[in-house]
């Protein structure tokens, strides 16, 4: 009877210890439920963001230039600004002279009087013409450069009439200067490229083939 009592007491003691060890004992402060410390994840070299080459640079083209003199002058302007232009040839319109003319009077009698007036003033190369685009005009000559055309217009102005100057164009090959701009490149300004051949200078994105 005594042994049976001892056995039962040991079983009860074991059950009490098991319950205390698994359910009643307080969890340690550094238990797994504690929040994990915040730390920045290390970034591998091959995970770093890559800046696209196209975003860091862009290609612009300056032109058109129709004469070797205008091309060399523009190249010098670009070189002084720290640029290295690439020359590219493309189809375009070339100025083939400058036509100086007067509006023709309303009738032929007035036209004759105007011609006589110009001749008395020393303008002997004036002649009436009918142009397909402009209609009836008094032609004062076609000049190879804009300075001579301007001088003729100024001579005519002394007779009390105002002459017009129109560039005449033909299809041909022109030159464009392609430039690769970087983020630190200085700005390009149209005023830096005076057109010695009378061309209207532009600055625009390069064609796809040139930019590639």
Q: Where are the domains of the chain?
A: 55-95+170-211, 96-168
The CATH number of the structural domain formed by 55-95+170-211 is 3.30.70
Please tell me the pTM assigned to this model: 0.54
Tally of CB atoms within 10 A around 149? 23
Nearest-Å Rg of the Cα atoms of the chain is 44
Measured between alpha carbons, how far is residue 180 from residues 10, 20, 183, 192, 211 in Å? 92, 79, 10, 17, 8
Q: Within the chain, which residues score under 50 in pLDDT?
A: 26-27, 30-34, 36-37, 39-40, 42-55
pLDDT at site 52:
44
Phi then psi dihedrals of residue 147, to 5 deg? -65, -40
pLDDT at site 67:
84
55-95+170-211 and 96-168 have identical folds: yes
For residue 163, which of 98, 102, 97 has the smallest C-alpha distance? 102
> Which of 3.30.70.1070, 3.30.420.110, 3.40.50.300, 3.40.50.720 would CATH assign to domain 96-168?
3.30.70.1070
pLDDT at site 98:
92
The two tokens of residue 86 are 């690439």
Q: Can you say whether the dihedral through the CA atoms of 163, 164, 165, 169 is positive or negative? A: negative
């Amino acid at each position: 009877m005594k042994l049976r009592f001892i056995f039962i007491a040991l079983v009860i003691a074991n059950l009490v210890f098991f319950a205390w060890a698994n359910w009643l004992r307080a969890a340690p402060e550094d238990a797994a439920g504690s929040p994990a410390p915040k730390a920045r994840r290390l970034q591998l070299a091959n995970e770093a963001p890559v800046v696209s080459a196209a975003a860091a640079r862009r290609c612009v083209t300056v032109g058109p230039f129709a004469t070797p003199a205008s091309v060399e002058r523009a190249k010098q302007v670009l070189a002084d600004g720290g640029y290295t232009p690439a020359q590219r040839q493309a189809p375009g319109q070339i100025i083939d002279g400058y036509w100086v003319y007067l509006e023709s009077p309303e009738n032929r009698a007035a036209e004759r009087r105007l011609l006589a007036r110009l001749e008395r003033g020393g303008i002997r190369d004036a002649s009436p013409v009918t142009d397909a685009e402009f209609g009836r005009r008094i032609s004062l000559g076609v000049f190879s450069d804009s300075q001579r055309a301007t001088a003729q217009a100024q001579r005519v102005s002394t007779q009390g009439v105002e002459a017009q100057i129109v560039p005449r164009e033909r299809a041909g090959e022109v030159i464009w200067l392609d430039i690769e701009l970087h983020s630190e490149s200085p700005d390009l300004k149209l005023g830096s490229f005076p057109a010695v051949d009378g061309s209207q200078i532009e600055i625009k994105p390069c064609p796809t083939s040139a930019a590639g």
